[in-house]
Amino acid sequence: MKQSMFLLVPMLCLLSNLQLQCGAVVRLLVPEVVHLEVDSFEDVTIALSAPLQENVLITFNVTYSSQEFPIIELPDLVILPCNSVTPVSFPVKGADVGQVTTHLRTNSSHLNRISHIRIRYMVVHSNVLTIISYIIGWIYFFSWAISFYPQVYANWKRKSVVGLSFDFLALNLTGHIAYGVFNICLFCVPYIKAQYIEIHPNGVNPVEANDVFFSIHATLIMSFTTWQCCVYERGMQRVSLPAAGMLISAWLFALITLIVTIAGQLMWLQYLYYFSYIKLAVTVVKYIPQVYLNYQRKSTSGWCIGNVLLDFSGGIFSLLQMLLQSYNNEEWMLIFGDITKFGLGLISMSFDIVFMVQHYCLYSESQKLNDYKLLNGEYSKEYTSQNGAK
Ligand SMILES: *[C@@H]1O[C@H](CO)[C@@H](O)[C@H](O)[C@H]1NC(C)=O
Ligand SMILES: *[C@@H]1O[C@H](CO)[C@@H](O)[C@H](O)[C@H]1NC(C)=O
């Protein structure tokens, strides 16, 4: 399906119009996801948004099942009585662990116009594990979200960004902006969301509200750190040619594919995925300049280890959650299907380990030497500002 930019805006209007019309027409209200524990029953409630003059017969078509054997036991049909909007409940049994997607069919001509009504069922080993995994999700979300602050604080305290790689900063900022574009569009733009469901009728939108929040927050903090680099002492540091080349290529790539997309040769959803590829590429290379800078200076001063420790613990918890969820859902695709996310997590954590080795083992001695150099006026401004505050 090809779509040009000029069609996008009318399409968006059309979509919102349709939604308005649906308000006037009758809609079927169903839960999006039903969570069940294995061997337990759950009552699922469906209702009409307005009464109809006829009985409505509803049947379920299983369009996706993660296992070959039955995962849930559903009634064959459900009848919504005429002239009533009272919700109707039916029992569903979780027979085995896994995921099922059902599409709903009705025999009513009033409802047939609305395709793609679906209910997803997720049967897990244990609800307690679901809760633990949910809590772990918040823990790593917060570790990652606050991992930016120690660096900002250290820069402010030293009134200096000497030792913080500008290449890392520039790459990281680009990565977060690119990921932000991807997240915001997939989460907020109805046209893009519809395209996602059209291509993955049994899939789940990969972007959640906290992903959107994380991206915006990270971009703001990174921009603030960039501003710090403009106003604080920075020595001879600047963005290197290779890094600048990479950034320019990334944005040129985004621009060229944008033109191709506007020309109708590429789907908007595919275009957005290119932004997530930029983020992936950035994640692989972004720490290399910082490792090299530390190595050159034989010191990690200026590069905040708190940031590394928080990033590392976030990574551990995210890995733990992936394992827990995979077991609880019997869905190892979370790890092996999403190998990029898994691999990227491992790459980031390996770099964190390199930084810890640099900070606590390799250069911890020269750290003291550095303090000595400070006393001898090598970084006189840093020295006076630190001591002036005392
Ligand atoms: C749909 O099925 C119900 C129950 O069998 C029946 O009462 C109703 O008349 C049917 N509606 C249509 C439009 O066939
Ligand atoms: C059920 O879904 C499958 C695959 O999406 C489709 O081919 C089939 O026609 C559907 N069956 C009914 C009864 O709607």
- The answer on 302 and 223 residing in a single domain is yes
Q: Looking at ligand 2, which atom is closest to the CA of residue 201?
A: 5
Residue where a domain terminates, one of 124, 156, 185 = 124
Please give the distance, rounded to the nearest whole angstrom, from the Cα atom of residue 2 to the centre of ligand 1. Answer: 39
Structure tokens, 262: 């506007």
Structure tokens, 71: 């995962």
Does 1 fall in a domain? Answer: no
Ligand 1 contacts CB of residue 108 (under 6 A): yes
State the 10-residue block means of pLDDT for the chain, 390 residues long: 42 43 69 93 91 89 89 92 90 93 86 74 93 92 94 93 94 94 93 86 79 94 95 90 94 95 92 91 94 92 93 93 88 66 87 95 74 50 40
- The helix (run of H) or strand (run of E) holding residue 288 is helix 288-297
Q: Rounded to an integer, what distance in angstroms lies between the CA atom of residue 288 and that of residue 83?
A: 67
Crossing angle between the packed helical segments 339-357 and 288-297, to the nearest 10 degrees: 10
Does 354 fall in a domain? Answer: yes
Please give the distance, rounded to the nearest whole angstrom, from the Cα atom of residue 34 to the centre of ligand 2. Answer: 21
pLDDT at 308: 95
- The answer on 208 and 119 residing in a single domain is no
For residue 82, the ligand closest to its alpha carbon is 1
- The answer on 212 and 90 residing in a single domain is no
Does 7 fall in a domain? Answer: no
Contacts of 221 (CB under 8 A, 6+ apart): 148, 149, 152
Q: Structure pTM? A: 0.75
Does 236 fall in a domain? Answer: yes
Does 5 fall in a domain? Answer: no
Does 35 fall in a domain? Answer: yes
For residue 118, the ligand closest to its alpha carbon is 2
Number of domains in the chain: 2
- The answer on 193 and 88 residing in a single domain is no
Residue type, 151: Q
pLDDT at 24: 55
Pocket residues: Cβ below 6 A from ligand 2: 61, 63, 105
Structure tokens, 249: 């290529």
- The answer on 177 and 115 residing in a single domain is no
Query: 3-state DSSP helix/strand/coil percent for the chain, to nearest 5?
Result: 60, 15, 25
Q: Rounded to 5 degrees, what are φ and ψ at 362?
A: -65, -50
Q: Rounded to an integer, what distance in angstroms lies between the CA atom of residue 297 and that of residue 242?
A: 20
- The answer on 309 and 283 residing in a single domain is yes
Please give the distance, rounded to the nearest whole angstrom, from the Cα atom of residue 280 to the centre of ligand 2. Answer: 37
The CATH number that applies at residue 104 is 2.60.40.1740
- The answer on 304 and 165 residing in a single domain is yes
| Residue 57, helix vs strand vs coil | strand
pLDDT at 96: 92
- The answer on 94 and 143 residing in a single domain is no
pLDDT at 343: 82
Please give the distance, rounded to the nearest whole angstrom, from the Cα atom of residue 66 to the centre of ligand 2. Answer: 17
Residue where a domain terminates, one of 90, 124, 158 = 124
- Residue nearest (by alpha carbon) to ligand 2 atom 13: 61
Please give the distance, rounded to the nearest whole angstrom, from the Cα atom of residue 201 to the centre of ligand 2. Answer: 12
Please give the distance, rounded to the nearest whole angstrom, from the Cα atom of residue 113 to the centre of ligand 1. Answer: 16
- 60: domain range? 25-124
- The answer on 245 and 112 residing in a single domain is no
Largest CA distance in the chain: 90
With the most atoms of ligand 1 within 8 angstroms of its CB, the residue from 56, 88, 111, 112 to mutate is 56
Ligand 1 contacts CB of residue 82 (under 6 A): no
Per the rule left: phi > 0, alpha: psi between -120 and 50, beta: everything else, 98 is left
- The answer on 249 and 102 residing in a single domain is no
- The answer on 301 and 345 residing in a single domain is yes
- The helix (run of H) or strand (run of E) holding residue 42 is strand 41-48
- Residue nearest (by alpha carbon) to ligand 1 atom 14: 107
For residue 57, the ligand closest to its alpha carbon is 1
- The answer on 373 and 245 residing in a single domain is yes
Residue where a domain terminates, one of 124, 159, 182 = 124
With the most atoms of ligand 2 within 8 angstroms of its CB, the residue from 61, 102, 197 to mutate is 61
pLDDT at 372: 53
Q: Rounded to 5 degrees, what are φ and ψ at 66?
A: -80, -15
With the most atoms of ligand 2 within 8 angstroms of its CB, the residue from 60, 63, 116 to mutate is 63
Does 322 fall in a domain? Answer: yes
Does 389 fall in a domain? Answer: no
Crossing angle between the packed helical segments 268-285 and 190-199, to the nearest 10 degrees: 90
